[in-house]
Every structure is written in C-alpha cells, then in structure tokens.
Amino acid sequence: MDQGRLKNRVAIITGAARGIGKATAIKMTNEGASVALLDILSREVGQVAEELNEVGGDALGLTIDVSCKHEVDKMMKLVLERFDTVDILVNNAGVVCPAPIEEVKEEDCDNAIKVNLKGSLFCAQAVVPIMKKNRSGRIVNVGSRASLGKLDRTVYSATKAGLIGITRTWALELAPYNINVNYVGPGPIATELFASANPENSENTKAILNAIPLKRMGKPEEVAHLISFLASEEASFITGQTMFICGGVTVGTAHY
C-alpha cells in the first residue's frame, strides 16, 4: 500500500458504506491515513473496513446514526480508544427525500435536517476540541450541486445550501486554531444515492445526462480525490471555500 500525503493522519468519514464515502475511505487509506468509517448500514460499513484492513489499511467500522448526538459521542470514545486522535472529518452522510413542492412531507423535512445538518454539526462538535488541542485539523463537508437549485429537491437543496453557510462560519471560527473547513459539491455522480432518486432510463435522468457539459456522470473516486486533497497539507491555505465537482453543470443554464 502506497503511504502518501495523509500518512499518520486519522480520518473520520461518515456515510462510508457506499458511494463517495466508501471511495474516500479507500483513497485516504491508500494515502496512508487510518480511517474510522461511520454508517447506519452495519453490514456494509463493516465489510468496507474489513476489505481495507485486508490490504494493509487501519480501518474501524462503526454503525451509527449521526443525527443522534449520544451515538456520535459514543463513537468518538471508540475512535479515540483505537486511534488516540482525529485529524480529519469528512461529513458525507446524507439523505435526499425527492419531491415536488406540493408533496414535501414534514417527516422528510425533519429527516433531512437531522442527517444533513444536525449530523454534520454533531460530528464537528465531537472532533473540534481534539483539533483545537492539536492546533491542526481538516473538516470537509460534502454537499451537492443541488445547493444551487434542483427540480424536486426543496428539502435536499435547502439543507445542502445551509451546509455552505455552516462551512463558511466554521472556517472563520476555527481558522485561529489552524483548522481548515471546506465544502465539496458533487453532482451528478454515479452513486447508489443518485440511482435511488433518479431511476435509470427515466426522462429526468436522461435530462440530467444531457445537461452535463462533459456528457458523462462523475465517478465517486473523482470526488474522493478532491476530498483527499482538501484534507492534506497541500491545501493548507484553502478554507471556507465551496468547490463544485459536477462536469460543468454549474456553468450551464439547466437546473438539473
């Protein structure tokens, strides 16, 4: 295994059982980091951790609902028992809840806010005291291009746009401690989450593909490269920024 730019770093990655989270766990392991993988999908997150350990990584898989603060606090204790510290937090866990405005349900609002916003806050609150003590840290909030507006995404786009404001605020608060905070806005990326909200061969999915200037879906691994870079020392002068990785959709006129 190649010991790269994240050697001797410890990373917590939420939503790590699939898609972008899993790709980020693999990338950071290959870069030399020890990784704590968090997900509500118990079997799958355990399997990812096992696969990483089998190839020489140092991975801990934990089943957790990030929207429950007491679970996050318990997770932090387990991470510190295993790794002693935390250098990187990747807030990747998220839910979509697609629906046109008239059909948005109150429970969908509550769920999206709990996972996409409160979950990110709880995880940050768990790691920031350690990062402050170390006077060093990296937080990467994984949002979405949908934060700029997307059909049938009232709740999702609102929470992901809110995460941009959170990112900028945390960047200001934590800069004196050499803790960098940035936002990555993927989309459209070929993940299980995308497929669940955009059925293959549907008219909406076809419209999304046609709206991408590069004329292809992005890969989870491509997002993982950007996240890993922002977590490294190479990005030490970047904080409070929003970086979209979307094949050029943000410079087009379509709102898919």
CA distance 157 to 149: 6
Residue 5's nearest CA partner among 232, 236, 226 is 232
Catalytic entry in 156, 177, 183, 256? 156
**Residue 156 annotated among the catalytic residues of the structure:** yes
Residue 123 and residue 73 in contact, taking contact as beta carbons nearer than 8 Å = no
**Which residue type is seen at 152?**
D
Residue 187's nearest CA partner among 248, 253, 97 is 248
Residue 140's nearest CA partner among 243, 16, 17 is 243
CA distance 223 to 217: 12
Residues with Cβ within 8 Å of 237's Cβ and at least 6 positions away in sequence, in order, are none
Q: What is the dihedral of CA 129, 8, 232, 227, to 10 degrees?
A: -80
Which residue shows structure tokens 């497929």?
195
Question: How many Cβ atoms from other residues are within 10 Å of residue 251's Cβ?
Answer: 9
Which residue shows structure tokens 């087009």?
252
Sign of CA dihedral 244, 223, 12, 114: positive
Residue 45 and residue 39 in contact, taking contact as beta carbons nearer than 8 Å = yes
Q: Which residues are catalytic?
A: 156
